Amino acid sequence: MVYIIVEGQTDKALIKNILSDKMEKTDFEFLGLKGDGSVTTTLKELTPHDLSSNTYFAIIDADKSFTSREKEMDALNETNKVPFYIFPNHKDNGDLETLLLSHIEEDNKTIKCFDEYKECVDETVEKEIDNKAKLYAYTTLEHNQRPEKYIKDLTLGSNFDILKQKLQTLFEGTN
C-alpha cells in the first residue's frame, strides 16, 4: 500500500489530479489532512513495521522558510527514510497556494480587489491573511468552485514536473 501524507484537502485534490491515470490501477490512501502538524506527527508515529510493509511519501508547505522546513524534514527522515516534497517548488518559501496563484494573470480583477482588501486589513488589524484565503476568493468568485474542485479540473503545467516524477516513482511496478 502507498500512503501519501499531506496537509489538507487542497493538497489531496492536486495529488489526485497528478495521479489521475493511476487512480484505478493502484492502491493508495492519504494520511494527515489536518495541517502541517499532522504531516510531522504522522511521520513521527510510523513504526518500523509500517515502514517495511508500506510505501510512504510526505508533502508539506515550506511556509515562511524552505530552509527551516527542509531541516525539519531531514531530521525526521534520519529515522524513517520517508521521501518528501516541499511546496511550492522544493526550493522556495511559500505553499501550494503560492504555486497555484502564480498561474493567475496579474491583472485579474478578483486578485487585484483581494490584494487591496488584504493591504487594508494588514494596515488596520494585526492578523495576516494568507494565500489560502486569496485562492479561495479567486476560485469561488471566478469559477464558482472551492479550491479542491478547481484543482481537480486544472491543467497542470511544468511547475509540477518534479513532484509528478517523484510521485510516479512511488508506483513503479504496481501496474
Query: Does residue 81 form part of some domain?
Result: yes
Query: Does residue 175 form part of some domain?
Result: no
**Domain count across the chain:** 1
Alpha carbon distances (Å) from 174 to 52, 140, 151, 157, 171: 16, 37, 26, 26, 5
Give the count of beta carbons closer than 10 Å to the beta carbon of residue 45: 10
Give per-residue pLDDT as tens, 1-35. 899 999 999 999 989 888 877 656 567 899 988 98
Query: Does residue 150 form part of some domain?
Result: yes
pLDDT of residue 72: 95
Using CA of residue 44, residue 91, residue 152, residue 158, what is the dihedral sign?
A: negative
User: Structural domain of residue 79, as residue ranges?
Assistant: 2-170
Query: Does residue 37 form part of some domain?
Result: yes
pTM of the predicted protein model: 0.88
List residues bridging with 5 in a β-sheet: 31, 58
